[in-house]
C-alpha cells in the first residue's frame, strides 16, 4: 500500500505525502511498477518541479547519459525539468540513510577506512580491503595468498589495465553496482575475465544488449554511461562468507542455512577479535566501525587497551559483556550482510542489543519479525514496545490491528491506560485536543470505507471507542 501511495503521490505532486512515505515509512525511492517506471519518472511526466528536486536530493537514480536518465529526460513535461535533470550530476549518496547497507558499502570503498591494501595502476592509487575482494572473487583470494602475499602496495603495470576500468571493477566488488563510460566496457570485460567474475561478464553483455535496443528505438538519444544495478541477494550471500569465517570453529556447524564450502580454506585477514562468552570471533574493523557508531567509539577509545590474540599476534582482543554468543552471532551476520535469521523466542533480546549497539536497521528487522506475532492478547504490549524503541512501522501496524478489534479492546483496562498515558505525553494539552493513538485508530477505522455495510461496522467501532473515551473522561 505504501508503494502504491508513493506512485500516486508523485503523480499528484503531493510532496508532503512523499516526504512522509520516504522519511517515516522507509519506502524505496527507486522502486518500479509493472511498467518499469520509477516515482521520479512520474514526477517528471506530470511536471512537478519541486517534487523532482526533492526526489533527486533524496537519492532517486537519474544519472545523465544512462538508461534511467535518458528515460526521465525523454518524458519531462517542460524545459525547466529537463534543465534540472541535465544539471544534476549523480545520486546524492549522502542523502541516503546513515545505516543503509548500500551507503555503507559505497563509503567503505570511497573513504577506504581501515583498508589494508593499495593498488597502484599507472599512477592512480586505489585503497581496498582484502576481506571484501577475497569474498567477492576467488582470483583475489588466490593472489593475496600467493603472488601478493604480505604486500600492502600492489603495482599493476600491464598496459591493458585501464585505471578507470579497474576502479569500476572495485566499485562492482564492493557495491554490486557499476557506472562506466561506454568506451571502457571492453576494458571492464577483459578485467572481469581475468578476475574470473562470470556474473559480471554476463551482466555487461545483457546491459549492452538492452542499451542497444533502447537507443535504436529512440533516434537522437545518445547513452554514454553504462550502469549496472546491484543484485543485493548475491552480494549479501558473498559478504556472509566473512561472517561464516568469523565464527569460532566450535560454533560453525549447523548455524543457519548459509553455505560453508569455502570456510576452511578462505583467508579473510581479520584485524579485530571480539571475545563473547569465551568464544573468539575474528572480525573486521571496517565493517563494525562503518555499521555501528557504538563499535566505532568502542574500538577507537579502547583499541590500545585490549590484549593480543596468540594465534594472530597483530589482532587485538575486545571482550564484550552483557551479550550471549548466540545473540552476537545474529548481530554479526547483520553487520556483514544487512540481514539475519530471527525467531520469535530471541527477537526481543536481539532488539535490545540492536538498540544498545546503535543498529537501527537491525531494530527495523526485529520490528518486522514482531509484526507477524501481533494478536489481541499482545497488541497493547507490542505498541508500547514499538513506542519505546521508536519502531514507527510496527507502531502503525499495531494501531491498524487495534482498529480492527477495537470493540474487544475497549474492554481491557490496559488499553484505557495507554490512551491516558499517550494523552499525558502531550505538553500543554487542552481538554479537547487530539491524542495521537486515538487519531491513528480512527484513521484506520474509517479508511477504505465504501459500502453501506462497512460504513455501519465502522460507525459501531467508532461508537465503542467514543464510549471508552467518555468513561475515562477524555474528550478529543
Residue 114 in this model has a pLDDT that exceeds 70? yes
At residue 117, φ and ψ (nearest 5 deg) are: -155, 150
Report d(CA 273, CA 288) in Å as an integer. Answer: 11
Mean pLDDT, all residues of the chain:
84
- Whether residue 476 is contained in a domain is answered as no
User: How much is the average pLDDT of 206-216?
Assistant: 81
Number of domains in the chain: 4
Same domain for 138 and 84:
no
Report d(CA 182, CA 215) in Å as an integer. Answer: 13
Q: How many percent of the chain have pLDDT more than 70?
A: 87
Residue 266 has a pLDDT of 74
Residue 265 has a pLDDT of 57
Same domain for 396 and 333:
no
Residue 63 has a pLDDT of 63
- Quickly state the pLDDT bin for 117 (edges 50, 70, 90): very high
Residue 90 has a pLDDT of 45
Residue 83 has a pLDDT of 76
* Boundary of a domain, candidates 341, 364, 387: 364
Residue 261 has a pLDDT of 45
Residue 296 has a pLDDT of 92
- Whether residue 154 is contained in a domain is answered as yes
Residues 343/349, Cβ–Cβ less than 8 Å: no
Read off the pTM.
0.75
Report d(CA 327, CA 332) in Å as an integer. Answer: 9
Same domain for 174 and 243:
no
- Quickly state the pLDDT bin for 331 (edges 50, 70, 90): very high
Low-confidence winner among 7-21, 136-150, 227-241, 426-440 (lowest mean pLDDT): 426-440
Residue 304 in this model has a pLDDT that exceeds 70? no
Same domain for 196 and 113:
yes
Residue 258 has a pLDDT of 47
Residue 398 has a pLDDT of 93
pLDDT in tens, 120-157: 999 999 999 999 999 999 999 999 999 999 899 999 99
- Whether residue 306 is contained in a domain is answered as yes
User: How much is the average pLDDT of 274-283?
Assistant: 94
Residue 67 has a pLDDT of 62
Q: 3-state DSSP call for residue 180?
A: strand
Q: How many percent of the chain have pLDDT more than 90?
A: 44
pLDDT in tens, 459-475: 888 898 888 888 888 77
Residue 190 has a pLDDT of 92
The CATH number linked to 45 is 1.25.40.20
Transcribe 77-123 into DSSP letters: SSHHHHHHHHH--S--GGGS-TT-HHHHHHHHHHH-TT--EEEEETT
pLDDT in tens, 389-447: 989 889 889 999 999 999 999 898 999 898 888 887 765 545 545 788 888 888 888 87
User: How much is the average pLDDT of 181-195?
Assistant: 91
Residue 27 in this model has a pLDDT that exceeds 70? yes
- Quickly state the pLDDT bin for 250 (edges 50, 70, 90): confident
Nearest to 221 by CA among 89, 75, 84, 81: 75
Residue 93 has a pLDDT of 41
Most confident stretch, 42-46, 267-271, 330-334:
330-334
- Whether residue 369 is contained in a domain is answered as no
Same domain for 149 and 225:
yes
Same domain for 118 and 56:
no
* Boundary of a domain, candidates 65, 94, 123: 94
pLDDT in tens, 411-427: 989 998 988 888 877 65
* Helix axes 344-356 and 360-371, enclosed angle (nearest 10): 160
- Whether residue 140 is contained in a domain is answered as yes
Same domain for 249 and 189:
no
First to last CA, the chain: 28
- Quickly state the pLDDT bin for 174 (edges 50, 70, 90): very high
Report d(CA 240, CA 101) in Å as an integer. Answer: 13
Same domain for 360 and 242:
yes
Most confident stretch, 54-58, 246-250, 303-307, 382-386:
382-386
Residue 476 in this model has a pLDDT that exceeds 90? no
User: How much is the average pLDDT of 383-390?
Assistant: 92
Same domain for 160 and 202:
yes
The CATH number linked to 332 is 3.30.710.10
Same domain for 197 and 269:
no
- Whether residue 64 is contained in a domain is answered as yes
Residue 309 in this model has a pLDDT that exceeds 60? yes
- Whether residue 419 is contained in a domain is answered as yes
Residue 81 has a pLDDT of 82
Same domain for 106 and 226:
yes
- Whether residue 62 is contained in a domain is answered as yes
Report d(CA 128, CA 4) in Å as an integer. Answer: 40
* Boundary of a domain, candidates 203, 230, 257: 230
Residue 188 in this model has a pLDDT that exceeds 90? yes
Provide the domain limits for residue 195.
Answer: 101-230
Same domain for 134 and 209:
yes
Residues 67/35, Cβ–Cβ less than 8 Å: no
Q: Which residues pair with 360 in a beta bridge?
A: none
- Quickly state the pLDDT bin for 381 (edges 50, 70, 90): very high
Q: How many C-beta atoms lie closer than 10 Å to residue 261's C-beta? A: 9
Report d(CA 476, CA 110) in Å as an integer. Answer: 52
- Quickly state the pLDDT bin for 69 (edges 50, 70, 90): low
Most confident stretch, 223-227, 247-251, 257-261:
247-251
Amino acid at each position: 500500500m505504501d508503494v502504491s501511495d508513493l506512485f500516486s503521490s508523485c503523480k499528484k505532486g503531493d510532496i508532503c505525502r512523499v516526504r512522509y512515505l520516504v522519511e517515516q515509512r522507509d519506502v524505496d525511492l527507486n522502486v518500479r511498477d509493472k511498467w518499469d517506471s520509477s516515482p521520479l519518472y512520474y514526477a517528471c511526466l506530470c511536471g512537478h518541479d519541486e517534487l523532482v528536486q526533492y526526489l533527486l536530493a533524496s537519492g532517486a537514480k537519474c544519472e545523465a547519459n544512462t538508461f534511467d536518465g535518458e528515460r526521465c529526460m525523454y518524458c519531462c513535461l517542460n524545459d525547466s525539468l529537463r534543465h534540472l535533470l541535465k544539471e544534476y550530476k549523480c545520486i546524492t549518496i549522502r542523502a541516503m540513510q546513515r545505516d543503509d547497507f548500500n551507503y555503507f558499502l559505497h563509503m567503505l570503498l570511497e573513504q577506504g577506512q581501515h583498508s589494508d591494501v593499495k593498488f597502484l595502476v599507472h599512477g592512480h592509487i586505489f585503497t581496498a580491503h582484502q576481506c571484501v575482494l577475497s569474498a567477492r572473487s576467488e582470483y583475489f583470494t588466490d593472489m593475496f595468498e600467493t603472488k601478493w602475499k604480505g604486500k600492502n602496495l600492489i603495482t599493476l603495470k600491464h598496459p591493458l589495465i585501464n585505471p578507470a576500468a579497474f576502479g569500476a571493477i572495485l566499485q562492482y566488488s564492493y557495491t554490486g553496482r557499476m557506472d562506466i563510460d561506454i568506451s571502457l566496457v571492453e576494458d571492464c570485460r577483459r578485467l572481469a575475465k581475468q578476475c574470473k567474475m562470470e556474473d559480471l561478464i554476463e551482466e555487461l553483455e545483457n546491459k549492452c544488449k538492452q542499451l542497444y535496443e533502447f537507443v535504436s528505438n529512440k533516434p537522437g538519444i545518445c547513452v554514454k554511461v553504462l550502469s549496472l544495478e546491484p543484485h543485493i541477494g548475491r552480494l549479501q550471500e558473498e559478504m556472509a562468507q566473512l561472517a561464516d569465517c568469523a565464527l569460532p570453529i566450535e560454533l560453525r556447524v549447523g548455524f543457519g542455512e548459509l553455505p560453508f564450502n569455502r570456510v576452511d580454506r578462505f583467508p579473510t585477514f581479520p584485524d579485530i577479535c571480539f571475545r563473547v562468552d569465551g568464544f573468539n570471533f575474528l572480525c573486521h574493523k571496517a565493517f563494525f566501525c562503518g555499521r555501528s557508531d557504538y563499535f566505532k567509539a568502542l574500538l577507537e577509545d579502547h583499541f590500545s587497551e585490549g590484549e593480543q590474540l596468540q594465534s594472530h599476534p597483530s589482532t587485538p582482543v575486545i571482550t564484550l559483556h552483557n551479550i550471549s554468543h548466540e545473540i552476537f552471532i545474529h548481530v554479526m551476520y547483520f553487520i556483514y550482510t544487512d540481514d539475519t535469521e530471527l525467531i520469535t523466542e530471541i527477537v526481543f533480546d536481539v532488539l535490545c542489543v540492536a538498540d544498545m549497539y546503535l543498529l537501527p536497521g537491525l531494530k527495523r528487522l526485529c520490528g518486522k519479525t514482531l509484526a507477524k506475532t501481533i494478536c489481541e492478547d499482545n497488541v497493547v504490549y507490542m505498541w508500547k514496545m514499538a513506542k519505546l524503541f521508536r519502531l514507527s512501522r510496527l507502531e502503525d501496524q499495531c494501531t491498524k490491528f487495534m482498529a480492527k478489534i477495537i470493540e474487544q479492546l475497549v474492554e481491557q483496562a490496559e488499553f484505557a491506560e495507554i490512551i491516558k498515558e499517550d494523552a499525558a505525553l502531550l505538553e500543554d494539552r487542552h481538554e479537547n485536543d487530539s491524542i495521537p493513538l486515538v487519531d491513528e485508530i480512527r484513521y484506520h477505522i474509517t479508511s477504505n470505507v465504501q459500502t453501506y455495510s462497512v460504513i455501519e461496522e465502522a460507525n459501531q467501532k467508532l461508537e465503542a471507542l467514543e464510549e471508552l473515551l467518555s468513561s475515562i473522561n477524555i474528550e478529543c
